[in-house]
Amino acid sequence: MTGLSADEFQLKLCENLKHQGFVNDLKSQMRNRLINELIQHSSFKLFENKSKYSSPNSQVVTEKFVNSAIISYLKRYGYEYTLSIFLPECGLNSENIISEKDLLDHLMVKTSSGNSFIIHSSGSVLERLFGKSELSILSSVQKRNDDADSKNIFSRVRKDNVDTLNFNTTLNETDENVDCLLNSEKSRQYSYKERQQAEVDLQVMRFKNTEVENIKLEEKIKCGVELEKFKREIELIYQKKLETLKKKECDVDEKVKHLHANFEKETMMKRQNILLELEKLKHKENALAQKEEWLKTENDMLMKKKIKFESYVQQENENIYDCRKKIEEKVTEMVDLRWQVFEKDVEIKKKEINDIKIDLNAREKKMDNVLKSYEEAKRQLTIKNNEISSLKIDLKAAESNLQNAEKQISEYQNYNKENQQLQLKNVKLK
């Protein structure tokens, strides 16, 4: 089996992890962690203000933002293995990832503005996380702008003698009035921007229509001139190629004639060489015929030797069989003799044990008679107890000998069975 390449191994690993649910768990954990970090480093006002002007496909934008934030987080902290699993899932195309420029466009920050300059000058891309620094910088800038807008509104109210604010009221009422003024000012700024944008769009459309017509006419004239030039150049190239082809045809005819003459010479030389080789082959055929006759005689000799060897092998096998038969008969005779000797020993030991038991019974009767007299019984009890203990030891030894003898009998029976099986096998082999 051939080993997998790095890309195939990465894809199979990603598929297995996805099938088991590890990829989805990892993505959800990373998303939740990054969203919490982004919320901590940015103000909620910024999200609320920008959500009013969000596009209908805001969910797609948030997914792209989260994917790009995860990639920057993994790159910064050196999680290359998890990045290799996450990238095939979200993809490297621009459709699944949002760039820093697109993020600033969605946040309504122009490239020529001061906010974008502050963001780009805050550090390298690897040192700061994607989206985190932008939102934190914009939140601080938004707070400054809100403070500046509130000061400008107060100054305008004083200049225009607007009586909406009552400075003798409580602090809560003044805060409510300030919020109303801020909201009205923001709505005015937004409507003014929309009007300016509509006027700019109309002017751009008019300019585009006029410019497109002029460009089309100029392109038609340029294309006509270029076509004429191309035609002339093609005609010149065609004439040159015709001349070169004619020259090549003449050269080819001369080469063909020269090759034909060389080919005839080579064929004549080859014919002569072939005739010489045929003569050599005839000599070799005669030599091979002589070798075949010699091989036939050798094969006949080998067949005769083979027949003699087979007859010799049969005789040897018969001799081996006779020897085995004699050995088996002698083994059975030896086993029978050993068994007879063993049975005699067992009978002798049984007789000795019976004699010992008879002696024990006689001594026990004597003990009963001796117990009649108290004083004599005490003296003789000690002697008899010692004798009984020695006899018991002898009994145990005799019983252990009996058990060993029974074991040997069982082993001998097993040995006889095995011997009978071997004899049956030998009979079958015959």
pLDDT digits (tens, 9 = 90+) for 36-84: 665 565 444 433 333 333 444 555 666 677 677 777 777 777 666 666 6
The pLDDT assigned to 18 comes to: 66
> For residue 244, which amino acid is it?
T
Does a structural domain hold residue 45? yes
| Number of residues that this document lists for the chain | 430
The pLDDT assigned to 164 comes to: 38
Among candidate residues 120, 146, 162, the one where a domain is terminated: 162
Among candidate residues 115, 143, 162, the one where a domain is terminated: 162
Does a structural domain hold residue 135? yes
Instruction: Give the DSSP letter string of 231-258.
Output: HHHHHHHHHHHHHHHHHHHHHHHHHHHH
Confidence of residue 395 (pLDDT cuts 50, 70, 90): confident
Does a structural domain hold residue 169? no
Least confident of 135-149, 263-277, 406-420: 135-149
Does a structural domain hold residue 412? yes
> For residue 206, which amino acid is it?
R
Does a structural domain hold residue 123? yes
Does a structural domain hold residue 233? no
End-to-end Cα separation, the chain, in angstroms: 52
Nearest 5°: CA angle at 91, between 90 and 95?
Answer: 95
Q: Which of 40, 95, 109, 34 is nearest to 64 (CA)?
A: 95
Q: Can you list the pairs that 202-205 forms with residues at least 24 positions away whose Cβ atoms lie under 8 Å?
A: none
Does a structural domain hold residue 201? no
Confidence of residue 417 (pLDDT cuts 50, 70, 90): confident
Dihedral pair phi/psi, residue 77, rounded to 5°: -95, 5
The pLDDT assigned to 250 comes to: 79
Among candidate residues 146, 162, 178, the one where a domain is terminated: 162
Confidence of residue 88 (pLDDT cuts 50, 70, 90): low
Q: How far is CA 239 from the centre of its chain?
A: 64
CB within 8 Å of 363: residues ≥ 6 apart: 384, 387, 388, 391
Domain that holds residue 142: 6-162
| Structural domains in the chain (count) | 2
